[in-house]
């Protein structure tokens, strides 16, 4: 039975009962089952009565239907309270009605949430509410997870709505889908597919697409062909070729993964020969070897005419006789006959004859405490661990009542105001000493505070011990926090079985200058790359430190300035387009640097080499930019800068120029707008880019 609910009773809860084939047999709607508040109370007597009616309704449903197990959708911490309520109800029925203790299993609700909104669910359960669909999916997943996951393997690729790994979004969609489908092929063929069951129950037909050698197209064709027959039933694997039009090579690939319930066929009135090996993983190509193994295991005399089919039936009834076979010698004989190395195949045949199509999947295991913690909170211990920052809301003060011997030894405090103070709860408004003792005797003292109780948004609770509340000594936590206050904390410890945290909000722990709470490196962290980056960074720092500062030069020219790079950028930013600044170069006193403004925010820096210098501070008689020679700075401005600036200006004034600073996304937006305005035209633009 599947149980789907919402934490806040905004929607009705549903229970859905399914049979052994996954078909829905009955369901109930519980409109008020979630009315109970987190503190266990109710807002009104009417709410109490409504919920009690729903509880009785569920109780009667369980008594009548007697489900084997309850699959409870787990997605919030409220589910824990729902499970407690259901357990209490089951124990009550066990005591009063002598029903067995029905197990209640937490089931991840992610798959059921995707399914209830899928096209398949809308087609199969069109008139069902979403939560009822979810309840059905929860029950089916617990019954056969492979079959329920396969429901999302559709043309719409709904299987990708599930989160299999936190980093799966970094994998290309097609690669991820191929990997998922490859795993489905492995698991489905390991379990096998009963084609006749798929014909009787369309719910199971989603597995056919993963049979080896078929795929979605051939699988759908096989089902259509069988349905069109006068007797829509596959009575033997050989009928795949004879009646279904399956080709030889496709048959070789798929035959071993299609299982037929030969026991059911034997009980029917079919006249077709029933091949018992069709109910095993034994491939039709090796049926003869299986029959020989059966005959040899039963020590039949080869001279007598014994029916191998009868031998197979006998050996399946008494498979222990197969243990005496010398399969190694049989494999050698097959090898001598040129049939290849078949030792493993023979051992697999013996396994199948011992237990036909045994499900090799791991038996179901209830989720452990860590898995339950992740289901109900959405957090795991790899990410929600010691040192992580969390934001919490103060919900109360945790106090410990004083013991009798502590009260006997208590010493009430007389304050300067003349009033008396309780040494435990620190209440300080007692007029007389006797009032303090009466405070103890009437058990009114809540006790000494030892921590602050907090709550997280995901429903987890936590405690900040008094010593972790501040770096200073705190005796009264209310001097540091107020009810409802939101504070930042670090996790000290996660107590998963109690869904609780131990936290600290000390400033020293939050700042963590000594890296006490620094998270450890990932298992796949590239330590070598980190070392290379550190060395590269250190070398860059050394290189910058080695860089020579410019030497002031004695050059008389209106464009020359004894300034550095940053200052030249500032000058050019407020200068008109085409303006140039010549300055000393960090390469030495035989070089100058020319910076000229191409466009706003775009400057070109050109190195000028000097030759024929009279002294280190004067300008060289011959100047070079690359291999081009110039007589003086005026010639550089006239022959180099001004032509380049003119070309740049022409581009800036071009009618298709857009000042987008080379932003590709902005350019695409402009082009799309232009294309919409004139669809017959092919628009283009020019933009300046650094």
pLDDT tops 60 at residue 548: no
% of the chain with per-residue pLDDT over 90: 53
C-alpha 510: how far from chain center: 29
Pick the range with the lowest mean pLDDT from 269-283, 520-534, 571-585.
Answer: 269-283
Task: Decide which of 129 and 305 is more confident.
Answer: 129
pLDDT tops 80 at residue 269: no
The pLDDT assigned to 312 comes to 85
The pLDDT assigned to 301 comes to 64
At residue 545 the predicted structure's pLDDT band, cuts being 50, 70 and 90, is: low
Which pairs count as long-range contacts for 82-88, CB under 8 Å and 24+ apart, including other chains? 82/3, 82/5, 82/34, 85/36, 85/55, 86/3
Nearest of 8, 2, 21, 7 to residue 132 by alpha carbon: 2
Which pairs count as long-range contacts for 352-355, CB under 8 Å and 24+ apart, including other chains? 352/280, 352/281, 352/282, 352/290, 353/280, 353/282, 353/290, 353/293, 353/294, 353/312, 353/315, 353/316, 353/319, 353/322, 354/319, 354/322, 355/319
% of the chain with per-residue pLDDT over 70: 96
CA distance 477 to 452: 7
At residue 581 the predicted structure's pLDDT band, cuts being 50, 70 and 90, is: very high
The pLDDT assigned to 566 comes to 87
**Domains present along the chain, CATH in parentheses:** 1-144 (3.30.420.140), 163-267 (1.10.150.850), 280-354 (1.10.10.2740), 377-401+447-519 (2.40.50.140), 565-652 (3.30.505.10)
Nearest of 289, 278, 281 to residue 340 by alpha carbon: 289
> Under a CB-based contact definition with an 8 Å cutoff, are residues 204 and 197 in contact?
yes
Tens of pLDDT, residue by residue over 353-394, are: 888 888 889 999 999 999 999 999 988 888 888 889 999 999
pLDDT tops 60 at residue 40: no
Contacts of 307 (CB under 8 A, 6+ apart): none
Q: What is the dihedral of CA 430, 435, 440, 446, to 10 degrees?
A: -30
Burial 147-170 (b: 16+ CB within 10 A, else e): bbbbbbbeeeebbeeeeeeeeeee
Tens of pLDDT, residue by residue over 248-257, are: 999 999 999 9
Residue 126 pairs in a beta bridge with none
Q: What is the DSSP letter of 44?
A: S
pLDDT tops 80 at residue 203: yes
At residue 91 the predicted structure's pLDDT band, cuts being 50, 70 and 90, is: very high
The pLDDT assigned to 422 comes to 86
pLDDT tops 80 at residue 107: yes
Q: Under DSSP, is residue 438 helix (H, G, I), strand (E, B) or coil?
A: helix
Nearest of 355, 276, 349 to residue 308 by alpha carbon: 276
The pLDDT assigned to 434 comes to 85
Q: What are the strands of the beta sheet with 70-74, ordered from one edge?
A: 24-30, 13-18, 2-4, 70-74, 104-108
CA distance 395 to 453: 6
Which helix (H) or strand (E) segment is 191 a member of?
Answer: helix 173-191
Neighbours of 564 (CB within 10 A): 14
Burial 469-503 (b: 16+ CB within 10 A, else e): bbeeebeebeebbeeeeebebbbbebebeebebbb
CA distance 436 to 423: 10
Contacts of 443 (CB under 8 A, 6+ apart): 401
DSSP per residue, 202-220: GGGGGGGGGSTTTHHHHHH
Average pLDDT over residues 152-157: 92
E strand residue ranges, 496-619: 500-504, 580-584, 591-599, 602-611
The pLDDT assigned to 39 comes to 56
């Amino acid at each position: 039975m599947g149980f789907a609910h919402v934490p806040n009773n905004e929607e009705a809860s549903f229970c859905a009962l399914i049979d052994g084939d996954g078909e829905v047999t009955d369901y109930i709607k519980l409109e008020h089952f979630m009315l109970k508040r987190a503190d266990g109370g109710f807002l009104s007597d009417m709410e109490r009565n409504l919920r009690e009616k729903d509880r009785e309704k569920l109780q009667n449903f369980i008594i009548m239907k007697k489900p084997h197990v309850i699959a409870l959708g787990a997605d919030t911490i409220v589910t824990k309270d729902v499970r407690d309520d259901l357990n209490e109800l089951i124990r009550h029925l066990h005591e009063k009605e002598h029903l067995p203790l029905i197990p209640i299993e937490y089931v991840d609700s992610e798959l059921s949430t995707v399914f209830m909104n899928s096209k398949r669910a809308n087609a199969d359960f069109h008139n069902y509410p979403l939560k009822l669909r979810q309840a059905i999916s929860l029950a089916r997943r617990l019954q056969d997870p492979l079959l329920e996951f396969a429901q999302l393997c559709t043309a719409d690729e709904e299987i990708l709505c599930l989160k299999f790994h936190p980093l799966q979004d970094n994998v290309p969609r097609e690669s991820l889908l191929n990997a998922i489908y490859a795993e489905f092929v492995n698991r489905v063929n390991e379990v096998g597919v009963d084609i006749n069951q798929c014909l009787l129950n369309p719910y199971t037909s989603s597995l056919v697409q993963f049979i080896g050698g078929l795929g979605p197209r051939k699988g759908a064709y096989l089902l259509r062909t069988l349905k069109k027959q006068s007797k829509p039933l596959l009575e033997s694997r050989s009928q795949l070729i004879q009646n279904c039009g399956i080709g030889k090579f496709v048959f070789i690939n798929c035959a071993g993964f299609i299982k037929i319930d030969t026991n059911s066929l034997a009980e029917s009135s079919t006249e077709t020969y029933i091949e018992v090996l069709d109910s095993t993983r034994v491939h039709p190509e090796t049926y003869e070897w299986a029959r020989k193994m059966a005959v040899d295991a039963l020590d039949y005399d080869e001279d007598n005419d014994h029916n191998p089919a009868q031998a197979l039936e006998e050996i399946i009834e008494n498979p222990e006789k197969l243990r005496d076979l010398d399969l190694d010698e049989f494999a050698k004989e097959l090898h001598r006959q040129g049939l290849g190395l078949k030792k493993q195949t023979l051992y697999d045949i013996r396994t199948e004859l011992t237990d036909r199509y045994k499900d090799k999947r791991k038996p179901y295991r209830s989720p452990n405490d860590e898995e339950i913690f992740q289901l109900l909170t959405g957090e795991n211990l790899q990410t929600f661990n010691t040192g992580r920052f969390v934001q919490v809301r103060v919900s109360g003060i945790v106090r410990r009542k004083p013991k009798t011997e502590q009260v006997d030894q208590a010493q009430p405090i007389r304050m300067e105001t003349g009033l008396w103070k309780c040494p435990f709860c620190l209440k300080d408004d007692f007029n007389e000493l006797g009032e303090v003792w009466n405070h103890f005797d009437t058990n009114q003292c809540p006790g000494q505070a030892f921590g602050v109780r907090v709550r997280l948004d995901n429903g987890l609770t936590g405690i900040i011990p008094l010593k972790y509340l501040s770096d200073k000594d705190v005796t009264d936590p209310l001097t540091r926090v107020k009810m409802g206050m939101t504070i930042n904390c670090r996790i000290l410890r996660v107590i998963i079985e109690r869904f609780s945290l131990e936290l600290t909000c000390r400033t020293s722990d939050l700042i963590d200058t000594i890296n006490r709470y620094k998270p450890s490196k990932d298992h796949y962290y590239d330590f070598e790359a980190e070392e290379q980056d550190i060395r590269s960074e250190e070398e860059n720092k050394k290189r910058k430190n080695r860089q020579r500062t410019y030497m002031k030069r004695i050059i008389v020219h209106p464009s020359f300035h004894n300034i550095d790079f940053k200052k030249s950028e500032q000058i050019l930013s407020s200068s008109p387009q085409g303006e140039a600044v010549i300055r000393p170069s960090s390469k030495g006193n035989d070089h100058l640097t020319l910076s000229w403004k191409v466009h706003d925010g775009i400057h070109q820096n050109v190195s000028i080499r000097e030759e024929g210098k009279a002294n280190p501070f004067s300008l060289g008689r011959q100047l070079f930019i690359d291999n081009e020679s110039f007589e003086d700075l005026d010639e550089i401005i006239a022959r180099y800068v001004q032509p380049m600036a003119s070309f740049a200006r022409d581009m800036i004034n071009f009618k298709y120029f857009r000042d987008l600073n080379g932003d590709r996304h902005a350019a695409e937006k402009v082009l799309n707008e232009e294309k919409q305005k004139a669809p017959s035209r092919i628009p283009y633009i020019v933009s300046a880019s650094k």
